Structures are given as C-alpha cells and as structure tokens.
Structure 1
Amino acid sequence: MANTEHSVDYRERNPREYHGRVPNGELATQTVVHMLASIENCDPIDIGPLADFVDTDSLNKLVDQTSDENLEIRFTIEEYTARVSGDRSIVLVAE
C-alpha cells in the first residue's frame, strides 16, 4: 500500500467522544484507522486489522453508495465504539 497523506478532521466534543467525516475519495475504513491512530497518538499500522472487528466491504459500501444519515454501521474496536453513517460521518466513543 502506498504511503498516502490522510487529513483526518476530527474534534473532541467531550473527553470520550470524537467526531469526524470520511473525506471525498477516501475509504471509510482508512478514515476510521487514521482517526484511531490520531486519538491514540500512534502509527496507523499499530491499529489492528479493521476486518477483525467489522465487515470492511460493507462499511466502505455504506459510505460510497448512500448519503442517508439514518443508515449506519456500529462496531466495537479495542476500547471504542464506532458509528459510521451513510452521510460520511464517524463518531468514536471511548468506553
């Protein structure tokens, strides 16, 4: 995989909840991994394979094929609950 620069736009709204969006041209799976790495202050490669926690094809298709904010996939990865919506929004909540 090529080393690509990812601009992850997340902001901390409270000490346990992080919000972001999947940038145009990016895969939802990449954005989730980069958000987690940014929150945890580590390299994205240190985040375990996302496929161990969620069906990555379904996650990417949700974002690529719909813009419905009411459709979302929720999953737990490490100590975070992730919500990825069809409108490209991502919420990570520390448990």
Structure 2
Amino acid sequence: MWNTNGKSLKWLNQSLNIHIEERLCIMQLTLEVNGMTCEHCEKSVKNALGELEGVHGVEVDLDSGKVDVTYDEAYVSKTLMKDAIEAQGYEPVG
C-alpha cells in the first residue's frame, strides 16, 4: 500500500504525471431466447449472463422470450453472452 501522506490519489497522479483513463462503453442488447418456460429458466439465464465480466444488468421476460442485457462492450461480446446462454441449454436467436 502506498503512503500518500494524506494526499488524494488525484494529487498523486498529477504529481507523478500519470494519466489514468477509464473507458466505459455501456450498451444495451435484446436477445430472443428459445426454450425458457419457467422461473428456473429465467434464473439460469440471468445468473449465467450476470457472471460474465462487463455485464451490468439482465432482465428476462418469459412471456416474450426476450432477454435485455446492459453491458460494457470493452469486456463482453454478444458471442460470449450467446455462448453462456447456450451452456445453460437454451437457444439464443439472431
């Protein structure tokens, strides 16, 4: 742990001429998923997607078969999300 003698990290970064940039690319995606019929299905898909780094939110609508995902595209892709859903035994469409 660095001792900053009570100085803020912002001050330390400026003093050391360090540039730290955090890039967020928050996106929303709706996937159609076949095979979801019950609360267990909903929970399985929600948990599988929620465990992926970069996924910030998942909403599942069983009636429509739609899954809304809020994610950071710098960390996770549509392909990775579809793979996670398929691993649970469901079929993402599109």
**TM-score of the superposed pair, with normalisation by structure 2:** 0.32
Q: Greater Rg, structure 1 or structure 2?
A: 2
**TM-score of the superposed pair, with normalisation by structure 1:** 0.31
